[in-house]
Amino acid sequence: MASLLLVNQALATLAFFGVGVNLVLFLTRVLDEDTAHAANSTSKWTGTVYLFSLIGAFLSDSYWVCYITCTIFELIFVLGLGLLPLSSWLFLIKPVGFSWLLSPLFCPQFRIPLL
């Protein structure tokens, strides 16, 4: 079990640094943010990840078993890594001039009735 957690932590660390490096490029080139704001957002993201590491260590030492804590926070991390490309994909497929408020999800008069 410990070797599985070590491998999982190594892969999570690789994913963390991979996302961290590409996040500034994505924010500046795709979302057209200035470099200072993109670097600030990346620093906030990095700080949040490190803060959750401290919270996980406290929960592991005080209340939960080590393996349960690692499993829960790794699942949260994998969920976040899965939502990151999904959110960028949803942003990139939105056509110019599209408004979510006028989409069929939010306007009842445009909804297709289900059988």
Domain ranges of the chain: 2-110
- In terms of Cβ atoms closer than 10 Å to its own Cβ (0-12, 13-18, 19+), residue 70 is buried
Query: According to the model, what pLDDT value does residue 114 have?
Result: 46
Give me 71's structure tokens: 């499993």
On the CB side of 13, CA atoms within 13 Å amount to 6
Give me 7's structure tokens: 């491998």
- How far apart (Å, rounded) are the C-alpha atoms in residues 21 and 65? 33
| The model's pTM | 0.59
Query: According to the model, what pLDDT value does residue 37 have?
Result: 92
8 sits in which H/E element: helix 2-25
Query: According to the model, what pLDDT value does residue 36 have?
Result: 93
- How far apart (Å, rounded) are the C-alpha atoms in residues 83 and 88? 9
Q: What is the pLDDT along the chain (115 residues), one digit of tens a residue?
A: 678 778 877 888 888 888 888 888 888 887 788 999 999 999 998 998 888 888 878 887 888 777 787 788 788 888 888 887 787 777 666 655 655 555 555 555 544 544 4
Q: What is the 3-state secondary structure (H, E, C) of 44-104?
A: HHHHHHHHHHHHHHHHHHHCCCHHHHHHHHHHHHHHHHHHHHHHHHHHHCCCCCCCHHHCC
Query: According to the model, what pLDDT value does residue 103 have?
Result: 55
Give me 41's structure tokens: 């957002």
